[in-house]
Amino acid sequence: QWRRILLERLDAVAAIYRVAASIAALRGAIGFRWYRALPMDASVVLPGGGVLAVVRQGATADRTGFAKRLWRLREGPDPGGVLLLAPDETRLRHARRLLATAPFPVLVALEREAVGAGPGRPVWRPARVRGALGLSEALAHAARGAALPREREPARATLPPDLDAATGPGTPGWLLPARLGPAGKRALNLIGDWPWIAPRDLAALLGCSRARASRLIVSLEALGLVARVPAAGGRLAATDRGLAMLARRDRTAVGLARSRWSPAPLDSGVAGGWREVRGRNSRQLLRHLDHTAAVHGFVASLAEQARAEDWQVVQLDPPRRASRYFRHGARVRSVHPDAFGVLRPDGEPWTFFLEWERRAVRPSTMATRLAPYLRYYASQRPTDDHGVRPALLVVLRDEVTADHFLRVARREMERVRVALPLWVSHEALIEDEGPFGGGWRAVDDHGGVAPGT
DNA sequence: CCGTAAGGCCAATTATTGTC
DNA sequence: GACAATAATTGGCCTTACGG
């Protein structure tokens, strides 16, 4: 049973073992225990008796589900100290906020940094105070005496069969993480992030040739993880099996992932019903396929141009991870951009939200579209969430509409006295020159920076 | 637009050789 | 025989060329 669960979570297991190995290298023989269903993934016992719980936040972890897991961590018996591995900067900040009032010491690190860092590099950030610690300091700070959590033994042990079992679609699900190489996993992650992506855009996001991407797609297809969906013009989506693999890796709910993202056809019988798929969100994206494709095109050429200019693409988030929820007065409000991203030229990172706004042509609609952003940027949250105020990029249908939008934005910003770091362009320009050209125009001189400058 | 074939490059691993 | 240095092999990732 254990072997199987750990194989399903193989990528998580690898990351956590790396951290555990670094700890052992510093402190000598450690105790170590995995958990199947407790809020922590594992616990480490240091030679002196200090205990640390390790929690990994997977890339597909959803906001509420993971918040709940952190909450259980606080409700349960004292975990000792907590080491949390976050998949990206945004969620690291979010997790820190959630644990700032926890009654135990918490250290948070980016997974990719924690896994590669030597003992001295300051990658571990305390939840409550600013700054960052190297692993040895982090251990001194966080490890404290606590009882090692216990989990009930599985009632039944079913050992998986021999490892060199079938390949292809016959490969059992729990073996997939071992069958796939890093490139295949990267491709699957991207297809999971951007359902209905075209191979061409996928290649751009992967940063490889179309031919290479095509081969990766073929091998993912052969394993039954990815499908070309006729209803989407042969564009790609992660199959139910692919979604399950990602969910198992990240300890998230398989059923929920499928109900949101399943590309399985749903023949409802109504006219145009061939475009129906089971997942709620993937269906939405499929219904507005041209909008979806436009956003894909934008992020794909952004990635391409960034590479050409030697900017590092740190993070490119699809809508589900680009949304931000915040308190405004008594109510919880939100923004739902089409994308969020972090690029890094030589120096400071540059962040942005994207709104691909095809529909807004009337002033009232434009004002409605802007309202959530005016609320968001009126608060401290943009800076809390990202360290800087991200640029807000809005792409309108054509030049006339863009002009129009700028006037409306200027008026609204004056009315509510909030300055948006707003940049406006339109579709034809983006298509011709890409995001880095794009002829972005600002409302006023708000001191922000347009893409590529 | 897309996929396939053939082959190059690179890093990791294994085998071989040389030295004490 | 133990160990280190070097060579050979392998597997993964990727590109260019080409064809539908």
Give A271's pLDDT tier (boundaries 50, 70, 90): low
Q: Return the pLDDT at A272.
A: 56
pLDDT digits 0-9 by tens, A190-243: 999 999 999 999 999 988 888 888 888 988 888 888 988 888 888 899 999 999
Give distance CA A47 / C1' C5 (Å).
39
Q: Return the pLDDT at A165.
A: 47
Which of the nucleotides in strand B have any atom less than 7 Å away from a protein CB atom? 1-6
Crossing angle of helices A182-193 and A210-222, rounded to 10°: 90
Give A151's pLDDT tier (boundaries 50, 70, 90): confident
| Rounded distance between C-alpha atoms, residue A331 and residue A161, angstroms | 53
Give A281's pLDDT tier (boundaries 50, 70, 90): very high
Footprint of strand B on the protein (CB under 7 A): A 198-200, 210-211, 213-215, 217-218, 228, 234
The answer to whether the beta carbons of residues A222 and A184 sit under 8 Å apart is: no
Question: Does the pLDDT value for residue A125 go beyond 90?
Answer: yes
Instruction: Tell which wins on pLDDT, A186 or A169.
Output: A186
Smallest CA-to-CA distance from A354 within A409, A425, A410 is with A425
Give A161's pLDDT tier (boundaries 50, 70, 90): low
| Rounded distance between C-alpha atoms, residue A345 and residue A450, angstroms | 13
- The second-level CATH assignment, the architecture, of A290-442 is 3-Layer(aba) Sandwich (3.40)
Per-chain mean pLDDT for chain A: 86
Of the listed ranges A166-170, A232-236, A244-248, A261-265, the least confidently predicted one is A166-170
Q: Return the pLDDT at A168.
A: 56
Q: Who's near A170: CB < 8 A, 6+ residues apart? A: none
Q: Looking up tokens 């990994």, which residue turns up?
A: A56
Question: Does the pLDDT value for residue A274 go beyond 50?
Answer: yes
Smallest CA-to-CA distance from A65 within A320, A253, A327 is with A253
Question: Does the pLDDT value for residue A260 go beyond 60?
Answer: yes
Q: For strand C, is any atom closer than 7 Å to the CB of A184?
A: yes
Give A2's pLDDT tier (boundaries 50, 70, 90): low
pLDDT digits 0-9 by tens, A27-86: 888 899 888 889 999 999 998 889 999 999 999 898 888 999 999 998 888 998 999 999
Q: Where are the beta strands (DSSP E) in A49-206?
A: 50-56, 81-86, 106-110, 125-126, 144-145
List chain A domain ranges: 2-145, 173-287, 290-442
A437-446 contact pairs (CB < 8 A, 24+): A440/A393, A441/A402, A441/A406, A443/A406, A443/A409, A443/A410, A443/A413, A444/A410, A444/A419, A446/A419, A446/A420, A446/A421, A446/A422
Mean pLDDT, range A274-281, rounded to an integer: 83
Instruction: Tell which wins on pLDDT, A149 or A262.
Output: A262
Within its chain, how far is the Cα of A379 from the centroid?
23
Q: For strand C, is any atom closer than 7 Å to the CB of A182?
A: yes
Question: Does the pLDDT value for residue A157 go beyond 70?
Answer: no
* A101 CB burial (10 A radius; 0-12, 13-18, 19+): exposed
Within its chain, how far is the Cα of A99 from the centroid?
19
Q: Who's near A208: CB < 8 A, 6+ residues apart? A: none
3-state secondary structure of A110: strand
Give distance CA A212 / C1' C15 (Å).
8
Mean pLDDT, range A12-38, rounded to an integer: 87
Percentage of chain A with pLDDT > 70?
Answer: 91
| Rounded distance between C-alpha atoms, residue A120 and residue A145, angstroms | 24
- Bridge partners (DSSP) of residue A277 are A265
| Rounded distance between C-alpha atoms, residue A438 and residue A449, angstroms | 13
Q: Which nt sits closest to A218, CA to C1'?
A: B3
Q: Return the pLDDT at A83.
A: 95
Mean pLDDT, range A139-162, rounded to an integer: 73
The answer to whether the beta carbons of residues A143 and A50 sit under 8 Å apart is: yes
Q: For strand C, is any atom closer than 7 Å to the CB of A147?
A: no
Q: For strand C, is any atom closer than 7 Å to the CB of A234?
A: no
Strand C close residues, chain A 203-232, CB < 7 angstroms:
206-209, 211-212, 215-216
Question: Selecting from 3.40.50, 1.10.10, 1.20.1070, 2.60.120, what CATH number does the domain A173-287 have?
Answer: 1.10.10
Mean pLDDT, range A133-149, rounded to an integer: 87
